Each structure stands twice: as structure tokens, then as C-alpha cells.
Structure 1
Amino acid sequence: MKLNLEQIPREQTLSKKEFLHKYFKPQKPVVIERFIEDWPAHSKWNLDYMRELAGEKTVPLYDDRPVKHDEGFNEPHAKMKMRDYIDLLKSGPTKYRIFLWNIIKEVPELQKDFTYPDFGLRLMKGLPMLFFGGRDSHTFMHYDIDLANIFHFHFEGEKQCILFPQSETKFLYKVPHSLITREDIDFANPDLDKWPALQYAKGYVANLEHGNLLYIPEGYWHHMKYLAPGFSMSLRAIARKPKNFGKAVFNIFFMRHFDTVMRKIKGQKWIDWKNEKAISRTHSLLLQK
């Protein structure tokens, strides 16, 4: 058995009115294939260009090792020069990824290569973030702490994106007091005998290629797997639904800090308890289905 996923709708391009009516208001994802062809980034941005422009920058790297109690929030697992990292990406599969790499802070020249699109939402212009990955590297299934509307632009290579709305959280083995599901679930090829609730979750899937834009609605769960080395840029707009905005405030000002304190107090037992709860809570809801 496979996950219950439908293909994300694809459009060649969209006007602001069409986007708001067809996708933002109903909170549905969409891939726009040719929206950024007038950006300099469309022709310039590839791994070689990033190596040339930012080769001397030291970048934080993350892999797919499980969360540990003594690691800080978003603490990197390794660091290296961008030049060396891109060479690593090109040499073969690697688990190392870059995420949340702020263009304005790290390589302000890149701002000349794109414009902020007008989709009728106020984009947070101080937070254009880059994400890099090598073949077969992936993120854990997660949603963003601020439950933002995300515009995800992909460059070079190919990337598989699996999305679930918040309504499906009950089937996803969410780890309590966190933004992730069980880290040992391979969402690209899940074992549904081990994780039976997943068969009831209804989600979306799409592969992104160079120049594609993926709109991820507020609070959607997302799992990204690089099918070939590449990178993406995300722009974001604050959650507009009051419920999602309230969750974002709670996550940022309470949940994150509570989890940090509990890790310090209980250590690995806290992490283990959360992982066990992810299974017991999900399966108890499954019995009620």
C-alpha cells in the first residue's frame, strides 16, 4: 500500500486574482511552472553560480540523524565552506542539507536576481531563505513554527514534495511539543504495517524542477526529498487565519521554550517519552475511527 496522495495542481502562470480565488482562499497548494522566467535568477541560479558567489562562506549543515536532548534548536550537525559543500553535492549522494540560510544576511547580492511577487499577501521581505540538498537527502515531515504561507522556488535538479494539511495531523504520528512527526518514518516509502494510521491521511505530492514555484498553504506539513542535487528559495507571508496565527504565537513564545526546558530537566527521557506518545496517541485515535 502507498500513501493516499493526489498530484498538486499545476499552472503555467497565475494572476493575483486567480491565485487568491483558486488557491489562497481555499488553502490549496499549487505548482506554478513558469512564473519566474523574467527573473535574472531563472537563468543565473545554479550550483556553480552559488559556488562562485558564496564559495568562501561557512555554511551550517544538517542531516537526518534523530533529534537529541542535548542539541539546541536548529543547531547544525556540521559546517564547511560553501565551495566544499557544493563539491560534495556534485560528487554523489549526501545526507547533508542547508536550510534557513538568509540571503540578506549572507549574500545580499542575490537580492538583485529576484523580485518579490505580488500575490495579494504581504511577504516578509527580511526573510528570503535558501535550502540546499544532495541526491537522496530529505527533511523530516514537519510544519513551520509560524504556520506561514510559503512560496517555494526551486533551482537546479529535481525535488519531491509531499504535503498534508493540518486536518490530517491525527494520522501522521506527530511528536508532542514539537513541529515534526516520528523521525523514523520514511514518507517517500513508508512501512504502512508499522505505521498503519498513515493510510488514512489524505495529502498531496509534486516534483519540482528548475524554475517551478510551489505554494504551501498555512501550516501545511511538508516533506522534501532531493532527487538530484539542487536548492530552493522560500518567501513567506504571515498566517492570516486567526487560529493559525494563534498557534504561531504559541509555538514561538511558549512551546519552543517549554520543550527546551524539559530537555534540560529530563534529558533523553523527554525525547523518548515524546516519541512513544506519538505512537500511542495516534493509535488510540485510530481505534476510535
Structure 2
Amino acid sequence: MLEAWKHILNIPCDISTCSSSILDASVVGHRVIVRLDAAIRDVLAHASRDAAAPASLLQPLETLLLYAWQELNTGKWSDVDANWHALYAAVSWLKAVATVLVRGGQPTEALGEEVIRICDMGHLMGGDVWEGILIHTISNVEKYRSGVAAYDGHSSAGNTDHLHPAKRPKPSHRPAIRHPIPTVHLPSLQAFHSTYLSTHTPVIIQGALSTWPALDKWSPEYLRQVCGSRTVPVELGRRYTDTDWTQQLMTVGQFIDRYIYLRDNPDGQMAYLAQHELFRQAPGLADDIITPDYVAFAGDDEPDVNAWFGPEGTVSPLHYDPKENFLCQVMGEKFIRLYREEESERLYPHESKMLGNTSQVDVENPDLDRFPKFSEAKYEEGILEAGDMLYIPARCWHFVRSLSVSFSVSFWFNGQNDASSN
């Protein structure tokens, strides 16, 4: 293997003894353990040689991945044993290494993208194993590619000064605000807790993101540069309650081209990179954001951090979440409509368990013949601009529509008073 790939892959010297540390034979079976151990030995043996490995090195790995895939997609995702996730993650990394070996180790752009794609799938489906080896490998590949591009005087994104998000066929209108959400500028931690968190009162906090590098740095092309090769799940359709809504895996770069710039998308089909842990996949992007002090002060040191990136016109239907939420607007603007928990009876939640936290009402075009009480529901609304942070209490209903190309970061956390509602 070429020295460059030895550094990039950073193969642990004790990995040959690691299958027992990540898998329980009583769950996956003794035969799976034996096959995984054999695959590890074969991959390590070929990694120590200078010659290209035979294509047959990949076959047992493909078999193990297929077996794990079948287990992951049998029954409910939440009921799948963690061992199957770990198996998929471990074999994905081995497949990435084997792919390099089979192709002779020449560090080309195409091979780097393939290694990232394989590791991304492993991380999406399995999480990570062996002290975060999938994310470390991806980061090493990206650092190597960036170094080569800088040395050659080239950028993978090219000259992008002329690129701007395309206007969509039906622009998203900016509504008049009738009942504004309270807005304050950087309240003290104590004031936020006593006035808003403890009383479950929504508020827009201005100035809370002033120290975020993301405010000055992020644009569609910056995102492409930092994480354009990363594979992510994208929602296709305007809202998740629509019958034609679906999901598709694609790279961030492909998403930007098709749904932000509308390349090969003349009808302006809508898509949304929504509720995704992008910052775990792309640590370089995570360096540009900072967890608000209000979260830690509320008593939760490990909030769930998700990315919400999409074109003008994306919609999150009226729904509530069981956790407290800080919605931080980094790029673009969003229209927000909020209803307190006590208005739930007038919001007509879906009867199915899966959509029980989602209203049947189209907030901006309600059918009052079907949902007559909706007109009586009290609400607050506002425009969330870049640099603003919105506190959404647990179980507070919220409707969100982007008014432009938008990137938001949500911090879901457990407040000190919310144990009973989670």
C-alpha cells in the first residue's frame, strides 16, 4: 500500500483482536464472528504488501454487509439490536480499505470519493466503531485531498464567485406578522431561565450567535467545499405529510446542485436536508458553531444537534417535539408560527401513532369545514433571520417555512423541568 494511504487509513495495529470487543456472538452468531475475523486477517495481510489485492478480497465483505443490511431492515429500526449496526459499520470500514487495496492504492480523486461514500454509508447505517474509525478515515481523506488541491493551486469547487442560488418557479411569500413572538437581546442566563425556560415561553434571542464563525463563512459553496462529498439522507417533497414524500441518499454536493442551484431540475422539485446529524459526519463544519450557554445552564450537556438545509419554500408541517429546542438561524430566513401546548385540542393531531405529534391542518391554507376549531387557536409568529435563535419549549407546536435558501441548526435538550414530558 502506498505510504499516503497508510497514513490516511491509519489502520490500528490491534484491530485483528477487535471483533469480540464490538460484537456479541450470542446475537450475531458464531459464524458471523468467524467470518469477520477471517476478513480482518485477509485485509490486514494484503495491506502489508506492495502489490494490488485481488478483487476476491471484497466478496466476503459484501456478503457480511448484505447479511447485516437484511437484519437492519427487518422490522422496526428502533428494535434492531446494536450489534447489527456495529457489524455494518466495521465491515464498511474494511470494505473501504479493501477497495483501496484492490485498486492498487493510487490516491486518485475518484478513489477518495469512493472511500468516503463507503465510510459514510457505514456511519449512517451503523454509527461508528473502533474509536470512531469511520469518521477519522473520512477526515483524513478530506485533509489529504485539500492538501493536494492547495499544493496544485486548484480547488475542487473551482471559481464559484459567480454562483448564486436559483430563483424558484413559485417564490415563497413573506407574510405579515400579526401576533409577534417576543424578541430580546442576549438575556442573562438567570433571566432566560426564570422568564422563559421555567415558564415554557417561546422567545427569539438576538445576538446569541454573534461568536459563530458560521455566520460569516457559510454559503452553499462553502458547504460544498467542507462536506460536499458526504452522503446524506434527503427528503424529497415539500412536506413529510404529503403522499408523494420520500427520501433519497445523495451527496451534499449533488443536493446543492439540484435543489439549491436547480441544475437538471427545471420544475423546481423541492427537497430538504432535514433533521440530520451532519456535524457528526463533518467535524470541520462543527467547528463553525458553538453550543449556546443557555443549553448547559438548563442542565443538559449533550444536546441533540441537527442540521436543516434547504431551498426557499421548504415546509415543516405544524408539529411538536418532546424536547426543548433552540433553533439557530445561520443562513437565510424562516417564517415561524407557534401554538402553545394548551391549544392542542384545536389543532387536530393525526390519529395514527406515527404522526400523533403532527397536525392535520395546513396552517397557511386551513380547511375550516373539516377543522372548524382551528380558527379559535391562539398563536404567535415571527421571522427568524440569520443570527437569531428561537427558543421553542417542549411540546410547543410549530410550523416552519423557509423564505429563502436557509440553513438552521437545532439543539434539542432536556430542561430541568421537562423530565415528565420526555
Q: Give the TM-score, by structure 2 length.
A: 0.52
**Matched residue, 1:199:** 375
Call closer, same or farther: CA 1:44–1:105 in 2, change over 3 Å: same
Call closer, same or farther: CA 1:126–1:34 in 2, change over 3 Å: closer
CA distance in 2, matches of 1:217, 1:134: 26
**Matched residue, 1:234:** 410
CA distance in 1, matches of 2:246, 2:307: 15
CA distance in 1, matches of 2:241, 2:348: 15
The Cα of 1:247 is off from its aligned counterpart by 4.2
**Matched residue, 1:40:** 213
Counterpart AA for 2:253: R
1:116 aligned counterpart, secondary structure: coil
**How many positions carry a matched residue from both structures?**
236
Alpha carbons 2:298, 2:416 under 8 Å: kept? no
CA distance in 1, matches of 2:242, 2:332: 28
The Cα of 1:44 is off from its aligned counterpart by 1.4
In the alignment, structure 1 segments of 5+ residues that lack a partner are 249-289
Moved more, 91-100 or 42-51: 91-100
**Matched residue, 1:6:** 179
In the alignment, structure 2 segments of 5+ residues that lack a partner are 1-174, 263-267
Equivalent positions of 1:266-277 (< 5 A) are: none
Q: Which has the higher contact order (CA 8 A, sep 6+)?
A: 1
Alpha carbons 2:273, 2:310 under 8 Å: kept? yes
Equivalent positions of 1:200-215 (< 5 A) are: 200-215=376-391
CA distance in 2, matches of 1:216, 1:91: 31
Does 1:91 find its partner at 2:261? yes
Alpha carbons 1:124, 1:236 under 8 Å: kept? no
**Matched residue, 1:78:** 248
2:259 aligned counterpart, secondary structure: helix
Does 1:23 find its partner at 2:23? no
Equivalent positions of 1:143-222 (< 5 A) are: 143-144=320-321, 147-176=322-351, 177=353, 178-182=356-360, 185-222=361-398
Counterpart AA for 1:223: F
Alpha carbons 2:276, 2:306 under 8 Å: kept? yes
Alpha carbons 2:299, 2:415 under 8 Å: kept? no
CA distance in 1, matches of 2:410, 2:364: 22
1:69-113, Cα deviation, whole Å (9 max, x unpaired): xx9xxx952222211212233335542111221134211122222
Report the RMSD for the aligned CA atoms in angstroms: 2.6
CA distance in 2, matches of 1:60, 1:168: 33
Larger Rg: 1 or 2?
2
**Matched residue, 2:224:** 51
Alpha carbons 1:124, 1:238 under 8 Å: kept? no
